[in-house]
A = this chain, B = another copy of it.
Amino acid sequence: MSVIYDRVALIGLGLIAGSMAMAMRRAGLAGEITGYARSAETRDVARQIGLVDRVCDTAVEAVEGADLVVLCVPVGAMGAVAAEIAPGLKPGATVSDVGSVKRAVIEAVAPHLPDGVHFVPAHPLAGTEHSGPNSGFAELFDGKWCVIVPQDGADRAAVERLDALWQGIGAQTDEMDADHHDLVLAVTSHAPHLIAYTMVGVADDLGRVTDSEVIKYSAAGFRDFTRIAASDPTMWRDVFLNNRDATLEILGRFTEELFALQRAIRTGDGDHLHAYFTRTRAIRRGIIEAGQDTDAPDFGRKKGA
A198 contacts the other chain (CB 8 A): yes
Listed by A's residue number, 25 A-B pairs whose Cβ atoms lie within 8 Å are A126-B299, A128-B297, A137-B303, A143-B302, A184-B214, A185-B217, A187-B203, A188-B220, A188-B221, A189-B221, A198-B254, A198-B258, A200-B284, A207-B283, A215-B287, A218-B287, A218-B290, A218-B292, A221-B228, A224-B224, A226-B283, A229-B284, A241-B273, A244-B268, A248-B266
Q: Are A300 and B201 in contact (CB under 8 A)?
A: no
- Give me the 8 closest cross-chain CB pairs, A-B, nearest first: A128-B297, A189-B220, A230-B284, A233-B277, A200-B280, A229-B280, A192-B221, A188-B222
A298 contacts the other chain (CB 8 A): yes
Contacts of A198 in B (CB 8 A): 254, 257-258, 261
Q: Which of B200, B229, B277 contacts A237 (CB 8 A)?
A: B277
A255 contacts the other chain (CB 8 A): yes
Q: Are A302 and B142 in contact (CB under 8 A)?
A: yes
Q: A247-B265, A273-B240, A303-B137 are in contact. Are A228 and B220 (CB under 8 A)?
A: no
A118 contacts the other chain (CB 8 A): no
Q: Which of B126, B262, B304 contacts A219 (CB 8 A)?
A: B126
Which A residues form the contact surface with B (CB < 8 A)? 76, 100, 125-130, 135, 137, 139-145, 147, 174, 180, 183-185, 187-207, 210, 212-231, 233-234, 236-238, 240-241, 244, 247-248, 250-251, 253-255, 257-258, 261-262, 265-266, 268, 270, 273-274, 276-281, 283-287, 290, 292-294, 297-304
A230–chain B nearest beta-carbon distance, Å: 4
Q: Are A265 and B244 in contact (CB under 8 A)?
A: yes
